[in-house]
């Protein structure tokens, strides 16, 4: 099984000196959906930001599809891995929901017609029809989360990282999200999700990793 993400002996500490990871290693692939759990401060979100290159490791190596992360731009990493923040408003910037979805693709040279087609499909999947012309900042928290997930799927990434994807979603919206994730798994798109939702873990967790103090306490195949 080929690894999509390889984390080799990395170390990372905050500027104030607190060490989060010390000689930490982990491999992730596109053949499985992995759920990351652990208490607050265990390093879950920090790990995902290190994988994306948002935070920089002090030592060790992270490879994405065999390419060393330090040689990839943030933009290129974002094309390979769709990343949804724990607080979705941090990644929303456009003047409308439609523009949020289509602008990055049009900027990269995708035709307006193709971008609009992809956007409309995701607007329907995530039940955003009533707010498609609304300013993202005015959306409810659940709508912002659905929009953030839809926006990263517009790029058709090869891997997906979700930080607490079910937060503020009701049962119907979680089911819609779960159906999308099921389809992604069938297309061999790997998923790493930070979650404590037992139903979500039961449905999507093929591998469960429990972090404690920046170390892997458990790594279980489900």
pLDDT tens digits, the chain, 222 residues: what are they? 578 999 999 999 987 778 899 999 999 999 889 999 999 989 999 999 999 999 999 999 999 999 999 999 988 998 899 999 888 888 888 999 999 999 989 988 999 999 999 999 999 988 899 999 999 999 988 889 889 989 999 988 999 999 998 887 888 888 888 888 888 888 888 999 999 999 999 999 999 999 999 999 999 998
Partner residues linked to 221 by β-bridges = 207
- Per-residue pLDDT, 75: 87
pLDDT of residue 163: 93
CA 164 – CA 40 distance, rounded (Å): 12
Distances (CA, A) of 174 to 24, 197, 214: 32, 11, 29
CA pseudo-torsion sign 146, 133, 75, 159: positive
Residue among 104, 7, 107, 3 at smallest CA distance from 52:
7
Q: Do the Cβ atoms of 26 and 7 come closer than 8 Å?
A: yes
DSSP characters over 12-50: EE-TTS-EEEEEEEEEEETTSEEEEEE-TTSSHHHHHHH
CA angle 140, 126, 100 (to 5 degrees): 70
What does the radius of gyration of the chain's CA atoms come to, in whole angstroms? Answer: 17
Place of tokens 């159906």: 179
- Please provide residue 152's backbone torsions phi and psi, each rounded to the nearest 5 degrees: -75, -30
Q: Which class in CATH covers the domain with range 3-221? A: alpha beta
Q: CB count, 10 Å around CB of 1?
A: 8
For 39-140, where are the alpha helices, taking DSSP H only? 44-52, 74-80, 97-107, 112-125
Q: Which long-range contacts (CB under 8 A, 24 or more apart) does 132-135 make?
A: 132/96, 132/97, 132/98, 133/96, 133/97, 133/98, 134/96, 134/97, 135/95, 135/96
pTM above 0.85, yes or no: yes
């Amino acid at each position: 099984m080929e690894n999509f993400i390889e984390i080799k002996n990395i170390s990372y500490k905050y500027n104030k000196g607190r060490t989060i990871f010390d000689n930490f290693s982990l491999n992730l692939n596109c053949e499985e959906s992995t759920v990351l759990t652990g208490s607050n401060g265990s390093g879950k979100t920090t790990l995902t930001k290190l994988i994306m290159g948002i935070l920089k490791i002090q030592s060790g190596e992270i490879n994405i599809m065999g390419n060393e992360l330090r040689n990839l731009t943030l933009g290129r990493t974002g094309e390979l891995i769709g990343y949804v923040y724990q607080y979705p408003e941090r990644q929303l910037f456009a003047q409308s929901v439609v523009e949020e979805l289509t602008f990055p693709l049009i900027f990269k040279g995708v035709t307006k017609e193709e971008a609009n087609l992809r956007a409309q499909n995701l607007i329907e999947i995530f039940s955003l029809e009533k707010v498609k012309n609304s300013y993202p900042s005015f959306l409810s928290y659940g709508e912002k989360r659905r929009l953030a997930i839809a926006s990263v799927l517009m790029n058709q990434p090869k891997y997906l990282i979700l930080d607490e994807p079910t937060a503020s979603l009701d049962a119907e919206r979680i089911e819609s999200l779960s159906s999308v994730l099921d389809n992604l798994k069938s297309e061999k798109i790997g998923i790493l999700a930070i979650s404590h939702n037992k139903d979500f873990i039961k449905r999507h967790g093929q591998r469960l990793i429990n972090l404690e103090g920046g170390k892997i306490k458990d790594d279980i195949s489900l």
